[in-house]
């Protein structure tokens, strides 16, 4: 009996279709996501904290210089022109990226499209934000005005929210291109929707308050 079992032929494995076998062999291994306690994760968190501190420092410097610096009318006009140009560059780019992200939420785009667009547009976004901070120091913001304070807080939130979005985009790019929004983990979905909502709410609030302040200054002749 034992001898007959030893001589029995091995069970044949079911043959895979040629296309499936090729795809399994050619598919590159997916890199595992770093665990929360890994060195890569700790390094990423430390880098994020450092960038957040740098953004907060730049924002604070812009606000303090703008509050204490009494600029001439010509300098104010140049600063305002640069401020508007920076707004068009940064806000316009953000609108396009958020729109593509919304289309993915609705199932009309692949998951990688928002992340790839965000990665390619980083120089425009952060360059525009840097120009906003630099030019904001020369347009004499009225810190005694509550709407102006709200606008400045919105700008800071935009900076920090932009840093928080970056790791979310990296996680999306690591997923298969056919992944739908409903297939993403619930926690990640909530963070994506929150980041998108905060981005749009703060941008539109800052833009509308800026337009209101500019209009009131023009009417008052200041």
Short-list 42, 40, 34, CA closest to 171: 34
Can you tell me the distance from the alpha carbon of 220 to that of 149, in angstroms, rounded to the nearest whole number? 20
The region of weakest confidence among 26-30, 112-116, 171-175, 214-218 is: 26-30
Contacts of 90 (CB under 8 A, 6+ apart): 124, 125, 127, 128, 129, 131, 132
**pLDDT of res. 90:** 93
Report pLDDT for 102: 86
Q: What is the pLDDT of residue 108?
A: 85
pLDDT beyond 60 at 7: no
Rg (alpha carbons) of the chain, rounded to whole number: 26
**How many of the other CB atoms lie within 10 Å of CB of 140?**
18
Q: What pLDDT band is residue 2 in, cutting at 50, 70 and 90? A: very low
pTM score: 0.75
- CB 162 within 8 Å of CB 145: no
The answer to whether the beta carbons of residues 172 and 112 sit under 8 Å apart is yes
Are the beta carbons of 174 and 31 closer than 8 angstroms?
Answer: yes
- Using pLDDT thresholds of 50, 70 and 90, give the confidence band for residue 160: very high
């Amino acid at each position: 009996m034992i001898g007959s079992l030893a001589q029995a032929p091995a069970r044949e494995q079911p043959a895979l279709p040629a296309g499936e076998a090729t795809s399994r062999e050619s598919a590159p291994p997916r890199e595992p996501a770093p665990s929360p306690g890994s060195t890569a994760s700790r390094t990423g968190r430390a880098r994020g904290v450092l960038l957040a501190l740098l953004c907060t420092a730049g924002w604070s410097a812009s606000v303090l210089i703008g509050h204490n610096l009494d600029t001439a009318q010509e300098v104010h006009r140049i600063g305002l022109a640069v401020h508007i140009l920076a707004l068009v560059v940064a806000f316009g780019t953000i609108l396009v990226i958020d729109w593509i992200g919304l289309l993915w939420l609705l199932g009309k785009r692949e998951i990688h499209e928002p992340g790839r667009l965000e990665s390619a547009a980083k120089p425009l976004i952060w360059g525009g934000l840097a120009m906003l901070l630099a030019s904001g120091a020369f347009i004499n913001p009225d810190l005694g005005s509550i709407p102006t304070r709200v606008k400045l807080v919105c700008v800071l939130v935009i900076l920090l929210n932009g840093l928080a979005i970056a790791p979310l985009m990296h996680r999306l790019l690591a997923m298969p291109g056919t992944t739908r929004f409903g297939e993403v983990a619930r926690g990640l979905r909530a963070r994506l929707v929150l980041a998108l909502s905060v981005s749009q709410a703060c941008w539109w609030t800052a833009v509308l308050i800026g337009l209101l302040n500019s209009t009131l200054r023009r009417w008052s002749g200041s």
